[in-house]
Every structure is written in C-alpha cells, then in structure tokens.
Amino acid sequence: MQAFILALGTRGDIELFLTLGCELVRRGHRVYFVAAELYEPRIREAGLFPVSLGAGTLEQAQAVLRSLSSVPKEQRPGRFYEQWIAPQVPLAVQQIERFPGEIDFFICNMKLGLRRRGRILPGAAVTYDPPDSLEELRRRRASEHAERLIEIVALPKALLDPNGVWDPKYHFTGFWDEPSFAGWEPPADLVRFVEAEPPPVVLTMGSMVTFDAKRLASTLFEALGRVGSRAVVVEGWSNFPRVDAFQDRLHIAKEVPYGWLFEKTSCVIHHGGTGTLAAVLRAGRPSILLPQLACQETFGEILIRENLAADALDVETVDADRLASALRRVHEDERLQQSARAWQKLRKAEKGVVAAADLIEVHWEKLRQPPAR
C-alpha cells in the first residue's frame, strides 16, 4: 500500500501521525507525509518520505500561537485553523494532485476526503482530541465521501466514552505511543538531576506558547520551594528563562523523550495534549493540568473525574500557593496514586497504533479496486 498522511498543526499533531506512519512502514507499506516544511527533518528522521508544503516556518507558527493568548480558550482552535492550517490546505491538495505515482490510501487529521484521478480514495479520519459535546462530534464528521472513510479515535473508550454513547462508526484504539527512543542518550547532567532524591516533578507544555514562560518558571520555582521538591522543565516550543537561582531546583531541557523521563518522576504538570497525556498515563503518574485549549480543559475534567489529576489551573493566574497545594495532594492523596497505577495497567494493555494500522489495512482491502485486466 502506498499511503499519504496529511497532518497540519503543531509538533504534537505531527508526532502522533509519525507514530502511525512508522507502524505502517514497519508492515511494509510506503508512507508519504504531507506537512509544513519546518517538520521535514523530523519526518526524515522517522524514516518516512516528506512532501513539504514550502510554507510556514517555526517562527510563524509560534507567532500565531502567541497571538491566541488574548483569545478565549474555546475560540483558539478556530483561530489557529484560520491563520495557520487553512492557508496550507490548498497547497497540500496541490502537492497530492501533482504526485506522479499511485496513492492507495489517504490519512488526515482533518475530516477530509480526497478525490484523485476520478475516484475517491479510501481513507481514515482520525480523532484525537475530546469534543465539547456529541453535537460537535457529529458536526466534525465528514459528510462528503463518508462511506470511503473509516473513523478512528486515537483515545481509550473507557476514558472518552465510558457510557457507550458515541456512534459505533467510531473505532477506539486507545492512545498511540511515541516511537521508541532507542539510541537516544540522555545528557549526563540530566541523568544526575533525575537520579537525585527526591524524584523530581516534570513541567512540559509541548508546542503551547500562549503563556508567560518567565512568570510560570518563577511560580513553579516558588511552589517547589514550599513543598521541598525539584522539577525538570521540558521547554518544547517555549523559551524558559535560565536564572542562576533556579539551578538547584529546576533543570531545563529543550526536548526529552517522555517515555524515558516520566517514569523517573513523581508527577507531570502539563497542558493536556493527547501525546503528553498518553505518556503520563503509561508512566503511571498523576497530573496537574495547565490547559491552553478547550479540548485540553475537557481532558482536565476527565482526569479529575478519574482521580488522575490533582487540579486543573489557569496558567495565567495560578500562584505558588495553588500550585504547591496541588503538588502536596499529588504526594499525599493515595487515591491519585492508585488511579494512576490502575490506568497504567490499562494503557499497557492497549493495542493503540497497532489497532489503528489493523483497521486501515482491513478498510483498504475492503475498498481497494481490483487490478486492471
């Protein structure tokens, strides 16, 4: 099978679909990955074939995200789509139309079917953020070419749909874990910091930059002092200040594989992105949420419901008292620890991206055209 993946968004969106692409390649399929040019090195590193759009730099993506800081959380996805994703869609369609070879299957992080050379391609539409409501979920569903698309949900049904109210056309696979970090060597100073006692907290905001990093770093530093703890800050797309006073309590790293880091720590403070949350639950650690988008707020509500998060806080107004209180609860509330361990077992039993690739292969075989005679 020769598959095209179209993923437009932030680094977290790209990583999720790289996980799927790597699994399809492992099964012998050839995968082309259509994305903004800034992701081309990462796509090549993963062993896939990049089809770059030639538009959109990292600086431009970050500028768009920063411009959302004054926008209500529920409006941010729409604004980001209008300013960053929508201009890239026609470029992506043009690139796919110009591709000289055959395309057997089309995978997209939007509800988008694709017609090429007079036929509608078999495809998969992937949901990986919780909707605000079932009505929103129905609005998201692709109406055009719907019979040619399989709906895959890269989330656990027990977390998102415990009462079984979603349409059975949605196929839950569980979370998709990041590709193996085999071959990655942690820096010696990071290893020393993580191995020292007590186990540190982690703060990571992924690709989110709609907050004041300097203020958050100061708040975290003060809260850690109040509870006698330390933290590893994985800064991702944000720029955290390097202050000498922080050195004994904060270790700041640009990127660290979550699968390596999280299990070595006591809890994770994060924005509630799907990939980060998947890694937190797999490591069996409680969360403290700092959501930046409406869907991340929904994840926060779900985690609190399941006793998997100590609190969900507003990153712009949270003070050291509130953050320290959440950190104390992480260490003192045994229910959080028990729930985290229980969900760790559920996570490790999930088929995840393997189930997604199975669904895609079955769907392709069902809809593929017979060879010409």
Residue 181 lies in a domain: no
Say yes or no: 13 and 127 in one domain: yes
Say yes or no: 290 and 330 in one domain: yes
d(C-alpha 229, C-alpha 245), whole Å: 15
**pLDDT confidence of residue 245:** 65
CB atoms within 10 A of CB 47: 13
Between helix 353-367 and helix 11-26 the angle, nearest 10°, is 60
For residue 136, give the 3-state DSSP assignment.
Answer: helix
Residue 151 lies in a domain: yes
**pLDDT confidence of residue 44:** 92
Say yes or no: 358 and 270 in one domain: no
Residue 373 lies in a domain: no
d(C-alpha 267, C-alpha 258), whole Å: 12
Say yes or no: 239 and 342 in one domain: yes
**pLDDT confidence of residue 296:** 93
Domain range enclosing 207: 188-349
Residue 102 lies in a domain: yes
Residue 183 lies in a domain: no
d(C-alpha 20, C-alpha 227), whole Å: 40
Q: Where are the beta strands (DSSP E) in 143-238?
A: 149-153, 170-172, 201-204, 231-234
Say yes or no: 103 and 241 in one domain: no
Q: Which of 208, 315, 198, 213 is nearest to 267 (CA)?
A: 198
Please answer whether residues 5 and 92 qualify as being in contact, where contact means their C-beta atoms are separated by less than 8 angstroms: no
Say yes or no: 171 and 194 in one domain: no
d(C-alpha 181, C-alpha 257), whole Å: 7
Please answer whether residues 220 and 250 qualify as being in contact, where contact means their C-beta atoms are separated by less than 8 angstroms: yes
**pLDDT confidence of residue 240:** 85
**Number of domains comprising the chain:** 2
Residue 182 lies in a domain: no
Say yes or no: 273 and 316 in one domain: yes
Say yes or no: 161 and 295 in one domain: no
Task: State the CATH number of the domain containing residue 83.
Answer: 3.40.50.2000
Say yes or no: 21 and 87 in one domain: yes
Say yes or no: 208 and 225 in one domain: yes
Q: What does pTM read for this prediction?
A: 0.91
Place of tokens 């598959």: 3
Tokens linked to 120: 């509608």
Say yes or no: 169 and 204 in one domain: no
Place of tokens 């056309």: 169
d(C-alpha 13, C-alpha 8), whole Å: 7
Q: Mean pLDDT for each 10-residue chunk of the chain (373 residues)?
A: 93 93 95 93 91 84 89 88 90 86 89 77 91 76 72 95 92 88 84 92 90 90 93 89 78 92 95 94 96 92 95 94 96 94 94 97 83 44
Tokens linked to 171: 């196929």
Say yes or no: 306 and 360 in one domain: no
